[in-house]
Structure 1
Amino acid sequence: MAGKTKIYFAMEYVKGGELFNTVAKGRLRESAAHKYFQQLIAAVDFFHSRGVYHRDLKPENILLDETGNLKVSDFGLSALYETKRQDGLLHMACRTPAYVRPEVINKRGYDGKKADIWSGGVILFVMLAGYLPFHDANLMVMYKKISKGEFKCPEHFPSEVKKLLSRILDPNPFSRITLAKLVNYTWFKKGFKQINKPPILDQEQDESPRSIFDIVDDSDAESSSRYKEQSPSTMKPTCLNVFDIMSLSPAFDLSNLFEKDKSCRSEARFMTQNSASTIVLRLEEVASMGSCKVKKKDGTVKMQGSREGRKGKRAIDAKIF
């Protein structure tokens, strides 16, 4: 929320506190660690699919709600896909010593996805053991252990977990297990329930007719008796407010503070001499070719694909000013 002089954040209250506080009381049972690890990897898969890499995953940045569900927090050091250099790797060394990846210690560029997987493996070890896999009073000695992947699992660790950790905490990022293979690992899949993403469009309430007349001005709407019953409020083009004008300059774009999942969207702005009706007609033609559902209101055309992908359904929003 934003006023004339201040910006306000309203965030979820997570009553259970940090995962760190839970682990500090002692190692977790396998069932609890298994559940939290599944939720953690599901969360990692979600924000990776949106082009975001956390880069500082640790128990202090993981919260638990009152029902025991895991929440990933503190994305202050996260990076977007677009911040990669020409070599396709990230180069900024954001790290907490005990969770740092070997490729960062070796001062090489690193893949944000594989970096988060490594941190997830350290967290799994901590939950089951109650202590860190790589630890030494001498920081340089600890870094050498991390670089070589030298750690030892306690005897009470299930054999499946030991094998999985050996794949996750692989110092070679090229042979380290990928997220796609991890989620299909036998131990990980036990009791795992995939969450179905809700559709972007409300299909039950999507009763707007597929016509250009529900977003153009009243004179256009009145030219067709078929749409005389359409509410005038749905026929007005969008007006620019101060935040829209500011966002035209990337340096002053505050939309990331207010909009969800903007990082996963490709955005383009353009000017045209064509009328609003011509623009919308063309958008409807594109939607028809792609078998997309269309919803229109207040100068905005929303299109959503019918097929579900790993990142959800394809969606396009077009605003006409």
Structure 2
Amino acid sequence: MRESCAKLNSDRKAFRTLSPQNSPFFRLRFQGDDGPDVRGGSGDILLVHATETDRKDLVLYCEAFLTTYRTFISPEELIKKLQYRYEKFCHCPDTFKKRVSKNTFFVLVRVVDELCLVELSEELLRLLMALVFRLVCSGELSLARVLRKNILDKAQQKKILRHNNSARPLASRWVAARPGTLHDFHSHEIAEQLTLLDAELFYKIEIPEVLLWAKEQNEEKSPNLTQFTEHFNNMSYWVRSHHYAAGESAGPREAAPQVHQDHEALAEAQQLQLLPGHPLGAGLGPHPPPGVAEADLGGPGRVLHAD
């Protein structure tokens, strides 16, 4: 018992030596490790640390903070805290506090610029426009202009998204004497079209959506990720069903070479995630979004990849 207590006290002493005096952070560095320190602290401390962007060694920290802050605080709460911190120091005559207020404001602008459209609520818009009004009244016209431009850009994007979702036309059918089949096209042409259709939706996915999905798995808060997954499943079903239809009319022996060629063409086009939806993987069900079922195991359910 005494030995275990002595070991625990020595560990605590070692941890305190790793943390500098009067530091609000918990800092840890393993012996022989040349990498950066592992730091931790409360949300407010991390926020204050992120606004010290005039220091070169904290620029990367600020970028990491902007990418991961949603794991412990919502964007609306963060904007309120940044707004309070800015207005607390903006009227101070001290040069250092003036610089702190400017750094805080530009971090706030970055947060607004990287908001997802689903995060831009009416309450948040009113909060930001009230800040713009106060900036104009205090004579900070350049800061008000920068923030207002970001807000208007986000509002316009959200308006366009709503219009596209409400005015989406019905798909028109191509009428011909003989219905076309996949055998009428070359394999590389099919692969290119499938890749382009998926890429158009894939590049709309934002990092915050993936983080929010991993945390809450809410389709409404990850609309681009959900739309990409649904489109992926629909395209997989389309390829599978049309190959089966072509196989029934032309015979299995004639359909098999086309299946193999399409498979190779998809692999060359780096559309590897669509292969399970091909007839060779026809037994698989719909693909869930990342973070669900097989996706955590790196199996066929993983529709996103590092590339």
- TM-score, length of structure 2 as denominator length: 0.26
- Identify, as 1 or 2, the structure richer in helix: 2
Greater relative contact order (CA < 8 Å, ≥ 6 in sequence): 1
Bigger Rg, which one: 2
User: Which structure dedicates a bigger proportion of its chain to strand?
Assistant: 1
